[in-house]
Structure 1
Amino acid sequence: MPRQRTLKGLGRSTRRGLSRALEPPRLRSTAAVFTTMSALAATSLLSAPSVAEPFSTEPCALQRTGAHHSEGVDTWNAAYPRPTRALNAVMVFLSFPDSTPLTTPAELTADHFPVTSEFFRRTSYGRFTLTAHAMRQWVRMPRPSTAYRIQRDWSASLRSLYLRDALRAADDQVDFSRYDIVYFVADPDAPGVDSDATKVVNLDAPLRADGADIRRVVTVFERHPPDRLVLAHETGHVFDLPDLYHRPADGKGDWDTYVGDWDMMGSQFGLAPDLFGWHKWKLGWLQPRQVVCVQRPTRLTLEPLGAGPGVPVPGAAGAPAFGLGDGTKLAVVRTGPDSALAFEVRDPVGNDSMACRAGVLVYRVRSTTESGRGPVEVIDAHPHTQACWEDSVYPPLADAPVSLGESFTVPGDGVRVEVEDRSASGTWTVTITPGVTG
C-alpha cells in the first residue's frame, strides 16, 4: 500500500501516464462457492503454509525467512504467482446504490493500463507480460458505499463483507478461474470511497469461485486520475515484494527515508522508480550470470539497471547507445547471515528516465526485516548534500549514488566502491573491495 501523505499533500506534478482502455475478452458466468474468511492487509502475515521453490544457490543469496515479504532470494514463495510468465488480470468495476458514477469503466481502465503493463515490461526486460481484461460495464454492489466504512486501516470484518459482496455481484459476469490477479475497482466518486484504502488484501481462508481459490485481491479506491504507478505498486505486493516506505507512528513526518526515489515499492512518485536489482533477482528477471557475488577485491563492468533490448543508454559522450541488456546488473557483498550490500548502476534510462543523479547506488538488504520496517535501505554516498528538492520525494537521498570518479566506503561495513570509468557504450567500470579498514 503506497503512502498517501506525499501523494496528496505536496502539490507535486504526478506526470500521470494515461492511455486508452484495453479491449476485454468475453467474460462468462459460473456459480461461486464462498468459504469463511478473514482478510489480512498486505502488511500482515499469511497463516497458510507456503511451499519453497529452489531459486538460487549463490553464496550471496540471502535465505528467505518467515518475515512478511521476506527479501530472501534462495527460494521462491510458491504462495505467490511468480511473474516469469504471462499473467492475466481481470478488472471489475464496482458501483454503489448511493452514487451514480461520473466516470466510465473505459476511463478507469485507461488510468492504469497500459502504463502498468508497460512499467513491468521495461523493468522485467520483456520477460514478463501483464495483460488486463477489463469489464465494460459497472457491477452494482448490494449496499451503499458508506455501509463498508472504507478507510486505510479497514476493519477485517467490513473488508471481508466488501469482498464477499463484490465477488457475488460479479460472479454471473466473470469466470474468475481464468485470471491470475483480481482488481476490484470502486467508483471513485462514491461518498464512502477513500483512496487511502487502496491495497492488496491477503486472505487467511481463500474465497472460492468458479472452481478456483482466490487468495489475494487488489482493492482499488483511487481517484480519477489516480496516483502515479499506484497499481504497479500494489501488483508488486501480489508478487511478494515488500513496502519500502517508512510509515511514521503518528502519520506525520517523512515516509521516504528508507529508499527515497529509488524503487516503486517505496514511492510510486519516485523520479527513479525502477525496481531494485535485488528485486529483479528475486522475481527471476535477472539471470544468475547477471549477478556477481563479490568476496574479494573485484573489478567489474556494470550495465545500467534500466538498460534492456532496444532501450537507448546515454554514453560517455552524451550520445545514446544501444545493445545493452544481458550483461552484469548487480553486485552483492554478503555482510551477515541475513544481510547484504547491493551495488547497481542507476542511469536516466527506461523506468528511471527522470532520475535525479546517475551513478552506483548502494543499498543494504535484510531478509529478516518485515515489509514496511526497512528491509531495504539506500546508503547515501553524499550524506551532507541533497538534490532535486522540487521534484524528489526525499531530496537527501536523491544524490545517493556514487558518481563517476568517486570512491565511497560504506560506514560500519568496511566495503569500498570506486567508480572508475563510463564507456561510450554506457557501461560503468567499478572496483568493489570488501574488508576495508580505516
Structure 2
Amino acid sequence: MPRPLPRPRLRSAAAVFTTMSAVAATSFITAPSIAEPFAASPCALTRTEAHHSEGLDTWNAGYPRPTRALDAVMVFLSFPDAAPRTTPAQLTADHFPATTDFFARASYGRFTLRAHPGKHWIRMPRPSTAYAMQRDWNASHRAAYLRDALAAADAEVDFSRYDVVYFVADPDAPGVDSDATKVVNLDTPLRADGTDIRRVVTVFEQHPPDRLVLAHETGHVFDLPDLYHRPEDGRGDWDTHVGDWDLMGSQFGLAPDLFAWHKWKLGWLEDRQVVCVPGSGPARLTLESLGAGPDAPAAGAAGAPAFGTGRGAKLAVVRTGPDSALAFEARGAVGNDSSTCRQGVLVYRVRATAPSGTGPVQVVDAHPGTEACWRHSVYPPLADAPVELGESFTVPDDQVRVEVQGRTASGAWTLKITPARTEPV
C-alpha cells in the first residue's frame, strides 16, 4: 500500500477552489419519478421522493439505466466572441476513453458508455458572456443557453439516437466558467427529433480538465447523488462525508470506485452478491474487493492477488431503521481503486430519505484518532477509514461489530459481523 508522504497542512486557495469547482453537479428541476421494480432483497431500502434517493427497491425510470450499452453525443459549442484554441478531437480525448474505461471497470463489464463526438465546432448565436455562466446559474440564463445550444445543433445532430447529451463549451471563451459544469434536469423537457430530452450535461471544463469529471457528471445522469458536503459559506472541507471513497464525493479521490451500494442500485450487482446480515447472532462471510473483476489487474496486501471473478459477494448490509442501513465492503488496490491509500473493510451509513448533497452516504472512520496520505488524499481523516486485516471495530451508536479475520488465496476478505439488535427492523 502507498506510504503516507508529507504535505502542507493547509491546501492552497487554488487547490481548494479546484476541488470545489470540479465536483459541482447540482440539479435544476427534478424530473418526474416513475418507479420500476428492482431489488427484492430484504435489506434494500425503499426509494423515497428525496432527490437521487439512495433507496433501491425500485428504479426511477425517468433516468436511463446503465445495464446495457448507452450512446452519448458530444456537441461542441463555440461563441461569436472567441476563436477556439482547441479542437473537438482534443476535448474528446480529455474525457474518452477514460470515462468509458471507468464505467467498464466499475460495472465489471456490464455497462458500456459509447461516445459519439462531433467533428467540428457549432456556433452559438450569442457571445459567451451573454449567458452569465456560474456555479449557481441563474435559471433564465441557463434555459437560454440550453435552448440556443439545442437550436444550433439540431440541424446536424439526430438527438433521438442518444441516451446522454453533453454540451461541451469552448473552454477558452471569456464567459465560460468551469464552476458551472453540472447536470441540468428539466421538469419540462426539451424536444428535438421526436424525442424528449430531460437532462443535459453542460461541460465547461478547461483543457486539460479535472480528473474523471465527466464520469462524476454522468453518474448524475444515472440517478446517483452528490456525496460531498458543501459548506454554507463556500469555505472549508467539501470531502467530510465520504473522503476519497466514491466518485460522487470527489473525482480526485485516491479510491474513486463507486460504492457497492451504488453498484447495486445501478444493476451491476445481483441480489445474490449482497449479504443481508440478520439481527440475531454473528454472520461470517467472505467479500471480494470491490474493484476485483475478471479483467482487473492483480494486487493486494502481502502479495494476495485481489483479483476475484467480479461475481462473488461484494456487499454486506445491516438494516438500522426503516430508511437507513450500515454497509460493509472490501476495498483493495485493484481496478478503479488501484491508488487507494489503505485497504480493508469500509463501513458507511446509507439514508434513503437524505437528498443529494446532504450526506445520504457517510463513511464511518474506524481510526478516528489518525489520518493518512495527507499529501495526496482529498480528506486525510477518512483516508484510513477501513477496518484493516486483523482488526475489529464497533460502529458507534449502532453498536455493530466487524472483525476482519483474513484473506483468501484469491484475495477476498473474510470477516465476521455481529449486530447489536436481536429483532428485525
TM-score range, shorter chain: over 0.9
Distance 1:125 1:8, change over 3 A: farther
1:406 corresponds to = 391
2:214 corresponds to = 231
Distance 1:258 1:216, change over 3 A: same
Q: What is the one-letter code of the residue matched to 1:356?
A: C
Q: Secondary structure at the match of 2:119?
A: strand
Q: What is the one-letter code of the residue matched to 2:26?
A: A
1:421 corresponds to = 406
Distance 1:45 1:96, change over 3 A: closer
Q: Secondary structure at the match of 2:62?
A: coil
Equivalent residue for 2:60, pick from 57, 77, 86 = 77
Q: C-alpha distance in 2, partners of 1:304/1:282? A: 18
Q: Is the 8 A contact 1:416 1:436 kept in 2?
A: no
1:363 corresponds to = 348
Q: C-alpha distance in 2, partners of 1:43/1:381? A: 33
1:264 corresponds to = 247
**Aligned 1:35-434 pairs, distance under 5 A:** 42-46=26-30, 48-295=31-278, 296=280, 297-315=282-300, 317-318=302-303, 320=305, 322-434=307-419
Q: C-alpha distance in 2, partners of 1:315/1:196? A: 37
Unmatched 5+ stretches in structure 2: 1-9, 20-24
Distance 1:45 1:331, change over 3 A: farther
1:30 corresponds to = none
Tell me the CA shift for residue 44 of structure 1. Answer: 4.9
2:7 corresponds to = none
Q: What is the one-letter code of the residue matched to 1:371?
A: S
Q: Is the 8 A contact 2:159 2:193 kept in 1?
A: yes
Distance 1:8 1:236, change over 3 A: farther
TM-score by length of 1: 0.90
Tell me the CA shift for residue 425 of structure 1. Answer: 1.4
TM-score by length of 2: 0.93
Q: Secondary structure at the match of 1:76?
A: strand
Distance 1:342 1:322, change over 3 A: closer
Distance 1:282 1:312, change over 3 A: same
Q: What is the one-letter code of the residue matched to 2:15?
A: L
Q: C-alpha distance in 2, partners of 1:7/1:62? A: 40
Q: C-alpha distance in 2, partners of 1:338/1:411? A: 18
Tell me the CA shift for residue 57 of structure 1. Answer: 1.9
Q: Secondary structure at the match of 1:214?
A: strand
Tell me the CA shift for residue 12 of structure 1. Answer: 12
Tell me the CA shift for residue 68 of structure 1. Answer: 0.1
Q: C-alpha distance in 2, partners of 1:236/1:122? A: 14
Q: Secondary structure at the match of 1:373?
A: coil
Q: C-alpha distance in 1, partners of 2:41/2:240? A: 30
Q: C-alpha distance in 1, partners of 2:34/2:11? A: 37
* Residue 9 of structure 2 is aligned to residue 9 of structure 1: no
Distance 1:149 1:316, change over 3 A: closer
Q: What is the one-letter code of the residue matched to 1:141?
A: M
Identity in percent: 76
2:4 corresponds to = none
Q: Is the 8 A contact 1:56 1:75 kept in 2?
A: yes
Q: What is the one-letter code of the residue matched to 1:9?
A: A
Unmatched 5+ stretches in structure 1: 15-40
Q: Deviations over 1:46-100 (max 9, x none)?
A: 2x53221111121111000000000001000000000001000000000000000
Q: Deviations over 1:333-360 (max 9, x none)?
A: 0000110000000001000000000000
Alignment RMSD:
1.9
Q: Is the 8 A contact 2:327 2:349 kept in 1?
A: yes
Q: Is the 8 A contact 1:316 1:425 kept in 2?
A: no
Tell me the CA shift for residue 310 of structure 1. Answer: 2.2
Q: What is the one-letter code of the residue matched to 1:355?
A: T
Q: C-alpha distance in 2, partners of 1:392/1:280? A: 23
